[in-house]
Amino acid sequence: MKRKEKWLVIALAVTLFAGCAQNQATPPTQQGPRQEAAKSPLAVKRAERQTSEQRSQQQAQLQERKRPTPDLAGGAERKVRAPHPMTLADLHRKYPTTFRLSGTSTKRQVALTFDDGPDLVYTPRVLDVLKKHKVKATFFLIGNRAAAHPEIVKRIVREGHELGNHSYTHPNLPKLKAEAFHGEVLRTQGVIATHGGYRPRIIRPPYGEINEEQIKWLASQGFTMVNWNVDSLDWKGLSGDQVADNVLSNITTGAIVLQHSAGGMGEDLNGTIDALPKIIKKLKADGVSFVTVSQLLNLPKGR
């Protein structure tokens, strides 16, 4: 081998040896899959903390579901805010010309009214007292009783008293459906027209109870609803002195006085009969005159 070629072989061998040595001394720069997935200790702690918080939230939610929610102290919204029936006082304020409790106070007049007749026991006795003292009053008649005692209806009219509608069977009107309510009113109108000669324009609901829709219907039919502002409480079976005191201690000019000319089965109205002369004499002595409801309220008598 020539000298020049010999040195060339030696130089190539040195170069190869140096490259291998460098490859063995330098660590690999690429990371394997397992090395890529590895995380720092800080990242591991952060992940563990997040997992712990999630578990705590889940446990709190489970506990919250087990704990009952306190109820609304005032009741459910749909019940509390639901429309409520208006009271009689509310109805009177809203419909002052349709729903009357008294007349004007400018005249010294009162109206005596008698409910629940006619019957054959108390109504004739009430009529006897009124006739003796020359007093005119208003009788709110129950239709089926008027049909049963037409001769008493005729006497009431003949002696100059006024008739009013008090329903046909004396039900609690707000509990009736519209058709039944209309029937109670209109059927009584027919009976009174047959035996009394006219259809009254005034009506008094049994127990004084009525609702707004019924008042609006009555107004559409030309009725004026008449309750009272002086209650004798004679239906409690009181004595004549007690009934008279209930009336006289509460009387005012323009008052509408509630009494009864008949009652339910077994009701004692002797207190009404005994009190009536005392009431009439005392008020007459005080310069008070007695008129019918239509006269007191300046309404047409009938149609």
Whether residue 145 contacts residue 117, with contact meaning beta carbons closer than 8 Å, is answered with yes
Catalytic residue among 92, 116, 260, 274: 260
- Token look-up 């003949």 returns 158
Judge whether 115 counts as a catalytic residue: yes
Measured at the CA of 103, the angle between CA 291 and CA 234, to 5 degrees, comes to: 70
State residue 121 phi and psi, 5-degree precision.
-105, -60
Q: Which burial class, exposed, middle or buried, applies to 215 when counting CB atoms under 10 A from its CB (0-12, 13-18, 19+)?
A: buried
Q: Is 231 a catalytic residue?
A: no
Q: Please enumerate in sequence order all residues whose Cβ is within 8 A of that of 102, keeping only pairs 6 or more positions apart, or say none.
A: 228, 229, 252, 254, 255, 256
DSSP string, 5-52: HHHHHHHHHHHHHHHHHHHHHSPPS---HHHHH---HHHHHHHHHHHH
Catalytic residue among 92, 115, 149, 234: 115
Contact 146, 123 (CB under 8 A): no
- What residues contact residue 187 under an 8 Å CB cut-off, 6+ apart? 143, 168
Catalytic residues: 115, 260
